[in-house]
Amino acid sequence: MKILQFLLTSTFAQNFNALSPGNDPDAAMTMFKEIYFPIFKASFTNLDHDKMHRQKAEDVGEMRFVERMFDYCVGEDDYFMSFEEDLACGTRMLTDMSKAFPELAELVEEDDPELNSMVYEILDVNGDGGMDREEYQDSVYCAIRVMAAKFVQFAPPDLKENLVHILSSFAETIPTLLNNEEMESFMSGHPRIYRIIKQRFNEKRLGKLFRTVDFNNDDEICERELTKFAINLLDEFSDLAELISDETDY
């Protein structure tokens, strides 16, 4: 749920941060809940969910980050996760991250309980108080699809026009950033993780991720392409986290 909170607020951030008095975070969140969340809710409700599920199967198949989240939260053998288990898992995740990376603890924000309930009410389509793995994947895909559509709708024209080029350039800029002195200093306390990240995020691998966003080759990114990219990126980070867990003590 924390991932969806981050994606939701990030999608609308440019609009509600600019409109909130003094760019106050609390005022911005209130504005998001009162103005922008109803837009998200209406868009999600009005989706052709069967069509979205078919396109999900065509574009991304299994969403590995959702499967690993389920494994982490309720165990590999459980197929159902309740709302309460999801909330408890979010708290445990924050605790684990703070222990592993204390220098990042202040940057990790707690979930907003009210927004959690609002999101879950929408995603729990059958209203049984939780979701199984397939239902969670379908709901998360549809939620990201709505956010992608709203990004395309609200993003500044110059950003939309240059987004393919911007994302493609990450294949070169990320390895450069990973190898600069500032990053080496920042990761000096985690040398094994730093080595894994640099080996994993090489230009060839990043090129496959960032240079294939525009899969219909029209030099524009539509909501379906952006959704596929977002899920591929989340899966990539999930793969990295599992690799770090397997090869280190974190």
CA distances in angstroms from 8 to 3, 19, 140, 175, 244, listed in the order given? 9, 17, 11, 28, 27
Contact 76, 242 (CB under 8 A): no
- Indicate the pLDDT class of residue 137, thresholds 50, 70 and 90: very high
pLDDT of residue 23: 63
d(CA 121, CA 130): 10
Q: What is the mean pLDDT of the chain?
A: 85
**Could you tell me what percent of the chain has a pLDDT over 90?**
36
Whether residue 53 has pLDDT greater than 90: yes
What confidence category does residue 247 fall into, taking pLDDT thresholds of 50, 70 and 90? confident
Q: Could you give the CA distance from residue 109 to residue 92 in angstroms, rounded to a whole number?
A: 13
Could you give the CA distance from residue 102 to residue 151 in angstroms, rounded to a whole number?
Answer: 33
- 8-34 pLDDT, tens digit per residue, is 766 665 555 555 555 666 777 788 888
Question: For residue 135, is pLDDT > 60?
Answer: yes
Give the pTM: 0.86
pLDDT for 57 equals 93
Lowest mean pLDDT among 35-39, 187-191, 214-218, 238-242: 214-218
74 vs 98, more confident? 74
Q: How far is CA 120 from each of CA 29, 78, 163, 213, 247, rounded to the nearest angstrom? A: 17, 19, 31, 29, 34
Domain extent listing, the chain = 1-154, 156-250
> Which tens digit of pLDDT belongs to each residue from 59-77?
998 899 999 999 999 999 9
Q: What are the distances in angstroms from CA 147 to CA 46, 64, 161, 196?
A: 14, 20, 18, 31
The reported pLDDT for the residue numbered 148 is 92
More confident residue, 126 or 112: 126
Lowest mean pLDDT among 1-10, 40-49, 183-192, 220-229: 1-10
- What pLDDT sits at residue 107? 56
Residue 127 has pLDDT above 60, yes or no: yes
